[in-house]
């Protein structure tokens, strides 16, 4: 124990990091490890093993970016040993804080030693059992705020130095609880009675509100750590502004008072550096409102349903960077995408160099996918499908899809946009946005 404590202190001292992470509060000595969960939860385990969360264990240290970040921070040695990286990239077990897996079951459902043998006891009535496991630290899906809070503790990076000096992303771009929890993460076999059920529209709305609240809360928590006017503080203050705007629009559309309370509870707060205590207090207030909403909202489905229009994309435009939002709008938004898909798809099917990849596919589904893809390359509100690009192209990579083919598709996209009268500079920007997608498409 002593040794690990010394190491921890050393790691933080080394980075000049005075405040510990939220994750550090988790009791690693109570982590039992995912092997035990997947003994009973086989299907959940199978899904998990296909996620980035699982794979990061074997991949993170091999990435060039990791080395650059470590170099920038002057860190040496294994990433699995570094307190700072370990808290978000791994599951850490035992008193020696050993990294045993990537992000795993207990990263989201809570360290399990005290609840694992209780939570499956069907001889205890559910209501009573829920109380017991809650007390023992289980984060049940029904307490969605508490499960989702974990996502934001990792996907929003509350560390100025790691971002400004290390060059680590400040957040997962476009992180969104509703969409990101339903892609590769989804594992609803229990409630799906064996099938991996998608969440219902009613559940989606709750995720949408809880996620929007958390985005605001974690903007505040992030900014609390800001001491200098530089990249980190600018990004965090932007996160606060954008997420607040989102909440305001959500309140206006639905009339749900709890949503209003999320942003009015911190009305008087000025965005000012080196103001940690005030920002954390504000974040705690927001947290309480979100929890009250997520437990207590029995209110009216009608009001919640009014959020649907925003949920389906319109809203997300405002969370894009201004340049990109305007590109998407300049090109003509959803309507332009419709037209572009028709022309683009026609070209792709006619082109001998790539048409064979599209043989025998379901045309309607393909068009939906193309729409999502084009929205993405226009910088529109479709980012989550980007995560699915890898999945969607996997079989094509096996069939020989390579860089050359991607070039052809981009060329055809360029032609399409030209025909639609899109400005040259905008086409160039589309090409620029498409570039990072290559790695997903080619499964690199
Ligand atoms: C001995 C078998 C067993 C093990 C081991 C086990 N579970 Fe479960 N788990 C179950 C059963 C059975 C249920 C369904 C209980 C019920 O019917 O309410 C369940 C339910 C759950 C639920 C849903 C609870 C709810 O209220 O919706 C979660 C989350 C969960 N388990 C996570 C885990 C995690 C994480 C681990 C490892 C730390 C784990 N389980 C280990 C058998 C197990
Ligand atoms: C607060 C949580 C947190 C901490 C601390 C953290 N990371 Fe990350 N890291 C993330 C998340 C979340 C992502 C995924 C970002 C995304 O979606 O693009 C990520 C992504 C990365 C990537 C890929 C980013 C890229 O630009 O492609 C690298 C490399 C990385 N982290 C290295 C590190 C290293 C090295 C450390 C320790 C010095 C570290 N991280 C500490 C949460 C964290
Ligand atoms: C312990 C920290 C941690 C927690 C908790 C966490 N994540 Fe992550 N997540 C990461 C890191 C780090 C990565 C990047 C892994 C990599 O690519 O190496 C990641 C990647 C992802 C990806 C894949 C992104 C891609 O590049 O395709 C999705 C989706 C995701 N997380 C969703 C979620 C959701 C939803 C939650 C909450 C229910 C959550 N995460 C909770 C740390 C975390
Ligand atoms: C990235 C965070 C994350 C990880 C990792 C994770 N879960 Fe979950 N889990 C969730 C979320 C969020 C929900 C609720 C999702 C929903 O309603 O769509 C959930 C729901 C569940 C449920 C209930 C599903 C249902 O049908 O109601 C079980 C059981 C479960 N998880 C078990 C596991 C097990 C076992 C593992 C590890 C193999 C695991 N989870 C890993 C976040 C996670």
List, for residues 319-370, the tens digit of each pLDDT value: 444 445 567 777 777 778 888 888 888 898 899 998 888 777 777 777 777 7
**pLDDT given for residue 264 in this prediction:** 93
Q: How is residue 257 written in tokens?
A: 């008072």
Q: Best substitution site from 166, 169, 384, 386 to test ligand 2's pocket, by max atoms within 8 Å of Cβ?
A: 169
**Cβ(137) to ligand 1 under 6 A?**
no
Beta bridge partners of 92: 99
**Cβ(143) to ligand 1 under 6 A?**
no
**pLDDT given for residue 89 in this prediction:** 92
The burial class, CB within 10 Å (0-12 / 13-18 / 19+), for 76 is exposed
pLDDT band at 221 (very low <50, low <70, confident <90, very high): very high
Q: What is the pLDDT of residues 170-214, one digit of tens each?
A: 998 778 898 888 878 999 999 999 999 988 888 989 999 999 999
Give the Cβ contact number of residue 78 at 10 Å: 10
Residue nearest atom 41 in ligand 3 by C-alpha distance: 151
**pLDDT given for residue 285 in this prediction:** 95
**pLDDT given for residue 378 in this prediction:** 75
Q: Does the structure show a pLDDT above 50 at 33?
A: yes
Residue nearest atom 13 in ligand 1 by C-alpha distance: 120
**pLDDT given for residue 10 in this prediction:** 30
Burial state string for 277-292 with b = 16 or more CB within 10 A and e = fewer than 16: eebeebbebbbebbbe
Q: How far apart are CA 287 and CA 216, in angstroms?
A: 9
- Cβ distance 188 to 197 under 8 Å? yes
Q: How far apart are CA 389 and CA 402, in angstroms?
A: 14
- H or E element, residue 92: strand 91-93
Q: How far apart are CA 237 and CA 279, in angstroms?
A: 11
Residue nearest atom 22 in ligand 3 by C-alpha distance: 52
**Cβ(122) to ligand 1 under 6 A?**
yes
Q: Does the structure show a pLDDT above 90 at 372?
A: no
pLDDT band at 297 (very low <50, low <70, confident <90, very high): low
- What distance in angstroms lies between residue 53's CA and the mean position of ligand 3's atoms? 6
Q: Does the structure show a pLDDT above 80 at 289?
A: yes
**Cβ(38) to ligand 4 under 6 A?**
yes
Q: Please tell me the pTM assigned to this model.
A: 0.79
Q: How far apart are CA 179 and CA 312, in angstroms?
A: 11
**pLDDT given for residue 157 in this prediction:** 93
User: Longest Cα pair distance anywhere in the chain, in angstroms?
Assistant: 68
Q: Best substitution site from 56, 59, 89, 99 to test ligand 2's pocket, by max atoms within 8 Å of Cβ?
A: 89
DSSP state, residue 101: E
Residue nearest atom 11 in ligand 2 by C-alpha distance: 155
DSSP state, residue 99: E
Q: In this predicted model, which residue has the larger pLDDT, 268 or 255?
A: 255
**Cβ(69) to ligand 2 under 6 A?**
yes
**Cβ(172) to ligand 2 under 6 A?**
yes
Ligand 3, pocket residues at CB < 6 Å = 52-53, 56, 59-60, 88-89, 103, 107-108, 147-148, 150-151, 154-155, 180-181, 183-185, 387
Residue nearest atom 2 in ligand 4 by C-alpha distance: 108
Q: Does the structure show a pLDDT above 50 at 405?
A: yes
**pLDDT given for residue 438 in this prediction:** 80
Q: Does the structure show a pLDDT above 90 at 220?
A: yes
**Cβ(37) to ligand 1 under 6 A?**
yes
Domains in the chain, please, with CATH?
Answer: 1-109 (no CATH), 141-318 (no CATH), 320-441 (1.10.490.10)
Query: Which ligand 4 atom is nearest residue 48's CA?
Result: 38
Q: In this predicted model, which residue has the larger pLDDT, 212 or 62?
A: 212
**pLDDT given for residue 154 in this prediction:** 95
CA dihedral 294, 42, 90, 242 (to 10 degrees): -30
Give the Cβ contact number of residue 57 at 10 Å: 18
- What distance in angstroms lies between residue 168's CA and the mean position of ligand 2's atoms? 6
Interhelix angle 322-331/333-350, rounded to 10 degrees, is 70
- What distance in angstroms lies between residue 228's CA and the mean position of ligand 4's atoms? 38
Q: What is the pLDDT of residues 97-129, one digit of tens each?
A: 889 999 999 999 999 999 999 999 999 999 999
- H or E element, residue 263: helix 257-264
* Averaged pLDDT for residues 61-78: 84
Q: How far apart are CA 62 and CA 82, in angstroms?
A: 15
Q: How far apart are CA 147 and CA 113, in angstroms?
A: 17
Query: Which ligand 3 atom is nearest residue 103's CA?
Result: 1
**pLDDT given for residue 380 in this prediction:** 64
**pLDDT given for residue 25 in this prediction:** 54
- What distance in angstroms lies between residue 187's CA and the mean position of ligand 4's atoms? 6
Percent pLDDT > 90 in the chain is 46
Q: What are phi and psi of 171, to 5 degrees?
A: -160, 165
**pLDDT given for residue 415 in this prediction:** 92
The burial class, CB within 10 Å (0-12 / 13-18 / 19+), for 217 is buried
- Window from 9-18, 102-111, 276-285 with minimum mean pLDDT: 9-18
Q: Does the structure show a pLDDT above 80 at 87?
A: yes
Residue nearest atom 33 in ligand 4 by C-alpha distance: 105
- What distance in angstroms lies between residue 169's CA and the mean position of ligand 3's atoms? 13
Task: Provide the mean pLDDT of the chain.
Answer: 83
DSSP state, residue 23: G
pLDDT band at 96 (very low <50, low <70, confident <90, very high): confident
**Cβ(37) to ligand 4 under 6 A?**
yes
Q: How far apart are CA 215 and CA 240, in angstroms?
A: 8
Instruction: Using DSSP, state whether 389 is helix, strand or coil.
Output: helix
Q: Which residue has the tokens 């974690």?
A: 218
Q: Which residue has the tokens 């509060």?
A: 25
**pLDDT given for residue 356 in this prediction:** 86
pLDDT band at 11 (very low <50, low <70, confident <90, very high): very low
- What distance in angstroms lies between residue 80's CA and the mean position of ligand 3's atoms? 17
Q: Best substitution site from 30, 47, 100, 119 to test ligand 1's pocket, by max atoms within 8 Å of Cβ?
A: 119
Q: Which ligand is nearest to the CA of 157?
A: 2
């Amino acid at each position: 124990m002593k040794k690990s404590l010394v190491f921890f202190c050393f790691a933080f001292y080394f980075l000049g990091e005075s405040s510990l992470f939220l994750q550090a509060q988790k009791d690693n000595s109570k982590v039992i490890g995912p092997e035990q969960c997947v003994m009973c939860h086989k299907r959940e385990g199978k899904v998990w093993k296909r996620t980035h969360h699982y794979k990061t264990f074997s991949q993170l240290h091999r990435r060039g970016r990791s080395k650059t970040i470590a170099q920038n921070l002057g860190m040496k040695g294994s990433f699995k040993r570094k307190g700072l990286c370990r808290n978000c990239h791994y599951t850490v077990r035992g008193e020696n804080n050993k990294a045993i897996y990537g992000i795993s079951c207990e990263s989201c459902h809570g360290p399990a030693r005290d609840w694992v043998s209780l939570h499956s006891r069907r001889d205890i009535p559910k209501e009573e059992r829920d109380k017991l496991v809650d007390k023992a630290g289980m984060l049940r899906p029904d307490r969605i705020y508490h499960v989702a809070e974990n996502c934001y503790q990792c996907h929003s990076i509350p560390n100025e130095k790691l971002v400004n000096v290390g060059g680590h992303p400040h957040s997962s771009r476009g992180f969104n609880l509703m969409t990101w929890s339903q892609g590769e993460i989804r594992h609803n076999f229990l409630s799906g009675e064996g099938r991996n059920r998608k969440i219902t529209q009613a559940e989606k709305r709750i995720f949408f509100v809880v996620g929007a609240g958390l985005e605001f809360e974690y903007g505040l928590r992030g900014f609390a750590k800001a001491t200098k006017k530089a990249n980190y503080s600018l990004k965090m203050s932007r996160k606060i502004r954008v997420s607040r705007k989102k909440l305001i629009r959500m309140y206006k559309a639905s009339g749900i008072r709890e949503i209003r309370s999320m942003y009015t509870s911190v009305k008087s707060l000025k965005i000012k550096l080196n103001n940690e205590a005030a920002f954390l207090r504000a974040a705690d207030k927001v947290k309480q409102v979100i929890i009250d909403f997520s437990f207590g909202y029995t209110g009216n489905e009608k009001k919640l349903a009014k959020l649907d229009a925003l949920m389906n994309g319109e809203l997300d435009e405002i969370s894009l960077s201004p340049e990109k939002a305007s590109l998407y709008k300049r090109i003509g938004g959803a309507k332009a995408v419709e037209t572009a898909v028709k022309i683009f798809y026609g070209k792709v099917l006619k082109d001998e160099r790539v048409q064979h990849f599209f043989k025998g596919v379901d045309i309607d589904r393909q068009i939906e996918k193309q729409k999502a893809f084009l929205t993405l390359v226009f910088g529109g509100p479709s980012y989550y499908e980007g995560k699915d690009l890898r999945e969607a192209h996997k079989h094509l990579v096996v069939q020989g899809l390579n860089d050359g083919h991607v070039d052809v598709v981009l060329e055809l996209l360029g032609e399409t946009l030209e025909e639609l009268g899109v400005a040259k500079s905008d086409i160039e920007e589309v090409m620029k946005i498409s570039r990072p997608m290559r790695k997903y498409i080619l499964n690199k």
